[in-house]
Structures are given as structure tokens and as C-alpha cells.
Structure 1
Amino acid sequence: MLQAIIDFIKSTGIYAIFAVNGMWGNVLMIMIAFLLLYLAIKKGFEPLLLLPIAFGMLLTNLPLSGMMSTPIMDLVAKSPDAHGTLLNVSNAGQGILELNQPGGLLYYLFQGDHLGIFPPLIFMGVGAMTDFGPLIANPKSLLLGAAAQFGIFITFIGAIASGLFTAQQASAIAIIGGADGPTAIYVASKMAPELLGSIAVAAYSYMALVPVIQPPIMKLLTTKEERVIKMEQMRHVSTLEKILFPIMVTVIVSLIVPPATTLIGMLMLGNLFKESGVVGRLEDTAKNGLMNIVTIFLGVSVGATASADKFLVAQTLAIIVLGALAFAIGTAAGVLMAKFMNKVSGGRINPLIGSAGVSAVPMAARVSQVVGQKENPSNFLLMHAMGPNVAGVIGSAVSAGVLLSLFLY
């Protein structure tokens, strides 16, 4: 009986914390998970993804939980009297694979991230919820969305210059600058799976902090006179234009940047569900049921990759710093491009909408609206800001495709 009690105590996570080397890193990660849960629940920072990410981080760092354990396969020899040996691919033809020990739940959910399945499904839901009308009505918004991607490429150069990252890792880190969580996860799963947890946490943390980070940059780069500019009402966009837009964008982008087809194609498919008006059930499923399910799976499984041994390294701190730099540069580049367009147009464009060129939809557009209304309560910039905002979604996907084209193989 005494031995049974001792064995039970040794099987607990509490015992492991004190008896197993390196477990205090898990404790620190649990504290970080608690902080992220606080920010999601109490402060409302991007709770739909930050909460499951934080809880996934908590689950994977609980000692002995095995939530991310990989399955163990044995190669059992065909001869009935031979003993099984651990899987070795080189001699896989000599026996039969048998499952010795199944993997953890989150390991199997993570395959949706690892195989690049969940982010495109998120994009389909985003497309079903997004109105591209403001972009169609004002095609010049594409320039603002493109300018905001400047942060991605500057950060890529910075990551390479640091000497801490390969070109593939730098590509995945740079996408954080687009403030596009699914795209960052997609690129990381393809090019730097070992950094997926750090990149995902950084990307969604900065997305959640859009209302905090962007306003000071916007005010620093604009004058009072520019912030109070009222913009003309947009023209009406026909149903035909809205139907043709996702089809044409898919074809054009895919022909120019084939690796972007997965993200752009799913984004535009979701939008076509919305604008066609003939598949209401598919639209509803894409933006509600399926979107919610995939969000849960993606968030929890991505958080589960942030184990202590992978997260508590020098590279993680560098990723957080580079991510902040990327986001700040992207915001500034969008505002500066809008200032230039305002000069060219004779003072008809409010530079505040340039900050919405990052693809945090619709949060970045709302920030433009809030900052503009504080300067002029009668000013309504939301729809004008939605143009560059959705252009930023397209821009980040295209940027991801360019980096995949250059450095994936």
C-alpha cells in the first residue's frame, strides 16, 4: 500500500515540477498563459483567438499532461517469434507498423496547422464576412494596403541581419507585420514550424493591441488639419461588380503569385458565397459554424506548440521585438502613403485611413474611425478605411505568396 502511494505521488505533475530538471520553465509558461487569459477575458484583447491560444499554452505546459505527445509506432517483424523494434523508416518494409502509444489530443488537432488546413478555412470565413465594396468603389485603396506591407519586407531584412534566423524563419516572422494571424500561421507551418508557437502568440498579441499601438503612430505622422479632413461619400457598387471581383482577383493573383492561391482562393470563395446571393446556407456555415470550430481548433493547437523548451529561447524575444517593429513600420508606411495621396488629390484623403492598410479586419478600420471622430465628431471614416483594410488582407496573402515563392524550396 505504501509503495502504491509513493508511485501515485511520483506520477503527479506536482512531483515532476520539483523532481524533473527544466520543469520550472513550464511553470513560467503557465504564468504567461495566465497573463494572456487575463488580457483576453478582462481586457478583451482579441479574445476569440487569444483565449484558446492561451489555454492551449496552459495545457501543453502542465507537467506530464501529454497533450502534445507524438504517437509511438513499433515496427513488428513478420516472424511471430521476433520482438518489435522502434520504427525505423529504412527497414519499414521488413515488418508491420503497430501503434504502441497514441499521441495526445492536441497533437492530432495540430495536424490541421502543420498541414496548412486551418488558416485557409479561416480565410474562407473572413471572406464570407467581408464586404469588398469600399475597395471596389475606391481602387486607390489598394495602394494603401500595399504600402502597409512594407513592414513585412523591412522586418524580413532585419531578421536576416540579426543572424538568428534563416531566410525561411525570417519570412515567417516578417508576416507578423501584416497583422494577419492566419497568414502568419500558414507561412510558419510551411517554412518555420519550430517557431510556430512564438510567431502565433506574437501575431495575435499585436492584433489585439491594434487600438493601443496604432493611435500614437497615426497622430505622430499627421497634423490636426489632416486628421479632420472629411472624405466624399463613396459611389454605389453594383452586385455584378461584387460578384466579378472575387473571381477576377483569384485568377489574377494566382497567375502572378501561384503560392498565394490557397489563401486568396479560399478568401475569395467565402466572399463569393456572400455576394452571389444563391448559397445562403454555405455563407452562413462558412462565417459562423465552420469559422467557430476552426478558430477553436487552430487557437488551442497553436497555443500548444508554445512549450517551455521551444518558447523560452533567445529567438522568441527577437520575434516579439521584430514583430512589434514590423507592425509599427506597416502602420507608418500606410499613413505616409495616405499623406502622399492626400497631397496629390488636393486634400481629399484623410491620412488616418492609411493605418488601416494592415489586415486586422475590421479592427484597424475602427481605429481610423475612432481617432478621426476624436478630432472631428462629425467625421465618418469607417467605410473609407475598410477599403485599405480589406486591401491589406489581400496584400498580406500576396506577400506571403512572394516569400513562399522565393524561399520555400
Structure 2
Amino acid sequence: MVDGIIGGLSGLIAGVLNFHWSGMVMIVIGAILIYLGVKKDFEPLLLVPIGFGCILVNIPLGGLMEEHGFLKVLYDMGVLNELYPLLIFVGIGAMTDFRPVLENPYTFLLGAAGQFGIFLTLLIALALGFPYNEAVTIGIIGACDGPTVIYVASKYARELLGPCSVAAYSYMSLVPLLQPPIMRMLTTKKERQTIMKTHHKTVSDTTALLFPIVITIVGGLIAPMGLPLLATIMLGNFMKESGAVARLTKASENEIANIVTLFLGLSIGATMAGPVFVKPQTILILALGLLAICLDTVFGVLFGKILYLVTGGKVNPLIGAAGISAFPMSARVVQKEGQKWNKKSYLLMHAMGANAGGQVGSVMAAAVMLSVLKGLGVI
């Protein structure tokens, strides 16, 4: 009788007895992520479920990531097969307007220039001893594109899924803080005050409809390893531009995106177990991710300065900072910074073009790197 009572009581404290110090650290980190999402409005749709999943997986003996555990089911259902990020890309495509970049094709170049930080960070990660697949995943953080990071990590570096995903979404929410100092440091007052003329070119419906199809075919032929990413974002955009499947478009950017975001956040949080996450490598990954985003901004602004010189001062270099995939956040940052120096400046539409180009550029950057690694036999 006494033994039975003692055995029963020991079951009540089994969780405490199996509690690892790293689990406590991760529970605190999970709570911080929730706080940042709720109180500071830092990407709450992702950081709140990620933080909650992080807390759950670090409570001992819960069995949530064991076979048939509900977090394990969510993880297997959409992370192992890369389904979640691809479904989110359909929604992103349905919400993205590529007409600004079609009106000003030169902004495509800014979207391409904004990806150079990815490749430079890749080289730095390789120099620090990371294997090719992990270095690519770390470099992709610089795209400021959470779904792309998750796709690459879940496919080629699952052990880095947690830190890379948290870094991508955290830094994406910090774009309004990270970019302005870099923009001011690299440009002169005269450059920042440049007023750009807005040319209202009419993009035909046929052009807007053909754009996602052409990009999918051309991009898929050049870098087939990234075809799932490119195809899904362009599918969403094609549905939007066609106007023939309004219900599917609405579902993609609302109901499906919301449900998948919840499942994805919990699944990412579930990978953040203390013994796996709490190690020096995680800090290095976070630092490299921050470096990648800063370098993307640097290269984008520098290319903007080149366009400023080539066009005789007709292009404001600030719009180069919008050549990343944080859509439309980065474009708004450029608009706000431009008006700070010249109240008559209206850079939003030009920045939106660069931002839309950055959406395509980030996906193509990932596709190119994966295709090159495939050719080298690394993956």
C-alpha cells in the first residue's frame, strides 16, 4: 500500500526530476518569443505559435514529439515533406502585386542585387567550417523570406530548422530598425533627397497574366531545384491575376495561409528542444543571419548608388534597400526614410517594384544555390 502511494507520488514529480537546465532556458526563450509577438507586434502570427511550441517541447515526459504525439504529427505532416512553406508561398503569391516591377523593369536588378549578401554569407559560413548544406541554409536567412528558409532547412539541414527559422522571422520583423542606419551610412544627403518621377505605365492584363507563367518556365529550366518554391508563389499570383478563381485566391491568402501558419509555427517550435538548441553554434547562426540581412541591404543600396550615377541622379539610391523579400515592409521603410529627408519625395511605387523583384530574387537565389550543390553532388 505504502509502496503504491510512493510510486504514485513519484509519478507526479517525474517531470521535475527529468527537467534539464537547457529546457528551462528554452522555456524562457519561448516566453520571450511570445512576448515579442504579443506586446511588440514582431511577426506575431509566427512567433506566438513558435514560442508556444518551444515551451511545450521542453516540458519533460510530455511525449509531444514522440511517435503519434500531436507536435510530431504536425511536423511529419508538413515539415518533413516541405508542404507547409509551399502552401504559404501560394498565399504569398496571391497577395503579391508584380505590376510595379513590370512598370519599372530596372527594379528587377535591385531585387537581384539585394541577394548578394546571401552568397557572401554562404562563403563566410563555409570558411567557419559549416558543411555546404548548412551554409546554404544559413545564407538564405539573408533573403528575409521565412518560407524559403524553412523549405531549404527542412529539406537539407533539419537540425538547423529551429534557429534559422527564428532568425529569419525575428530579423524580418526588425527590418524597420536594421535598414535605416545602413541606408544613411551609405548615402549622401543629396542622394537621399532625390525625387523620382512616377511614370504611370499601364501594364496590360495579358502581361500580368503571362508573367508568372514565363518566370516559372524560365526559372525552372535554369534552376530546377528551386522549382517548387518558384512554382507555388507564381501559382498564387496567376490565380490572383486571372480573376477566374476568386474563391481559391481568397482561401489561399486567408484560410489556408492562417491554418498552415499555425501548424508551421508549432512545428518549428517543436524542433527547439533544449539539448539541441542551446549550444554555441546557435549563437553563430543567429549572428551570420543578421550579417546576411545587413549585407543584402548594403549591396542593394550600393547598386542603387550605381543607378543614381548612371541615370544622372534620377534614381534615389534608397530604393535599393527594398530589394529584399520582406514584402511590403521594406518598401514602406524606404518610403518613410525618403520622406524624412524630402517631404516631396514619393518612393513607394519604385520601392514596391524592387521589393517584388526581391521576392522573385530570393527564391531564385535559393534555387541557384541548390542547383549548383546538386551539380556538385553535395545534395
Gaps of 5+ in 2: none
> Structure 1, residues 190-238: CA drift from partner, whole Å, max 9, x if none?
1111111111111111111111111111111111111121211132212
Larger displacement relative to structure 2 (340-349 or 228-237): 228-237
Q: Is residue 2:254 matched to residue 1:255?
A: no
Q: Is residue 2:187 matched to residue 1:222?
A: yes
* Paired residues for 1:19-98 under 5 Å: 19-20=17-18, 23-69=20-66, 71=67
CA distance in structure 2 between the aligned counterparts of 1:361 and 1:4, rounded to whole angstroms: 60
Asked if the contact 1:253–1:261 (Cα under 8 Å) also holds between the matched residues in 2, the reply is yes
Q: Is residue 2:131 matched to residue 1:166?
A: yes
Asked if the contact 1:16–1:23 (Cα under 8 Å) also holds between the matched residues in 2, the reply is no
CA distance in structure 1 between the aligned counterparts of 2:284 and 2:87, rounded to whole angstroms: 29
Q: Which residue of 1 aligns with 2:10?
A: 10
> Structure 1, residues 47-73: CA drift from partner, whole Å, max 9, x if none?
11111111111111122222111x2xx
CA distance in structure 1 between the aligned counterparts of 2:124 and 2:11, rounded to whole angstroms: 46
Shift of 1:7: 3.5
Higher RCO, 1 vs 2 (CA within 8 Å, ≥6 residues apart): 2
Asked if the contact 2:15–2:59 (Cα under 8 Å) also holds between the matched residues in 1, the reply is no
Q: Is residue 2:119 matched to residue 1:153?
A: yes
CA distance in structure 2 between the aligned counterparts of 1:405 and 1:9, rounded to whole angstroms: 57
Asked if the contact 1:128–1:271 (Cα under 8 Å) also holds between the matched residues in 2, the reply is yes
| Structure whose alpha-carbon radius of gyration is higher | 1
Q: Is residue 2:230 matched to residue 1:264?
A: yes
Aligned pair partner of 2:158 in 175, 193, 199 = 193
Q: Is residue 2:254 matched to residue 1:284?
A: no
CA distance in structure 1 between the aligned counterparts of 2:40 and 2:10, rounded to whole angstroms: 39
Q: Which residue of 1 aligns with 2:330?
A: 364
CA distance in structure 1 between the aligned counterparts of 2:360 and 2:148, rounded to whole angstroms: 10
CA distance in structure 2 between the aligned counterparts of 1:59 and 1:178, rounded to whole angstroms: 29
Shift of 1:256: 0.7
Q: Which residue of 2 aligns with 1:237?
A: 203
Shift of 1:9: 4.0
Q: Which residue of 2 aligns with 1:122?
A: 88
CA distance in structure 2 between the aligned counterparts of 1:113 and 1:202, rounded to whole angstroms: 17
Q: Is residue 2:139 matched to residue 1:181?
A: no
Distance 1:9 1:316, change over 3 A: farther
CA distance in structure 2 between the aligned counterparts of 1:347 and 1:4, rounded to whole angstroms: 84
Distance 1:4 1:399, change over 3 A: farther
> Structure 1, residues 161-190: CA drift from partner, whole Å, max 9, x if none?
111x11111011110011111000100111
Distance 1:107 1:339, change over 3 A: same
SS at match of 1:40: helix
Q: Which residue of 1 aligns with 2:73?
A: 108
CA distance in structure 2 between the aligned counterparts of 1:9 and 1:318, rounded to whole angstroms: 43
SS at match of 1:378: coil
Gaps of 5+ in 1: 72-102
Q: Report the TM-score when normalising by structure 2.
A: 0.95
Residue type at the aligned position of 2:37: A
CA distance in structure 1 between the aligned counterparts of 2:126 and 2:65, rounded to whole angstroms: 31
Shift of 1:8: 4.2
> Structure 1, residues 346-396: CA drift from partner, whole Å, max 9, x if none?
111111111111101111111111111212223222221111111111111
Shift of 1:299: 1.1
CA distance in structure 1 between the aligned counterparts of 2:183 and 2:4, rounded to whole angstroms: 64
SS at match of 2:45: helix
Q: Which residue of 2 aligns with 1:203?
A: 168
Q: Which residue of 2 aligns with 1:137?
A: 103
RMSD: 1.4
Asked if the contact 1:155–1:325 (Cα under 8 Å) also holds between the matched residues in 2, the reply is yes
Residue type at the aligned position of 1:254: G
Q: Which residue of 2 aligns with 1:78?
A: none
Distance 1:5 1:228, change over 3 A: farther
Asked if the contact 2:141–2:289 (Cα under 8 Å) also holds between the matched residues in 1, the reply is yes
Distance 1:106 1:226, change over 3 A: same
* Paired residues for 1:240-389 under 5 Å: 240-389=206-355
Distance 1:60 1:346, change over 3 A: same
Residue type at the aligned position of 1:374: K
Asked if the contact 2:338–2:346 (Cα under 8 Å) also holds between the matched residues in 1, the reply is yes
> Structure 1, residues 229-281: CA drift from partner, whole Å, max 9, x if none?
12111322121111111111111101111111101101011001111111111
Distance 1:346 1:37, change over 3 A: same
* Paired residues for 1:394-405 under 5 Å: 394-405=360-371
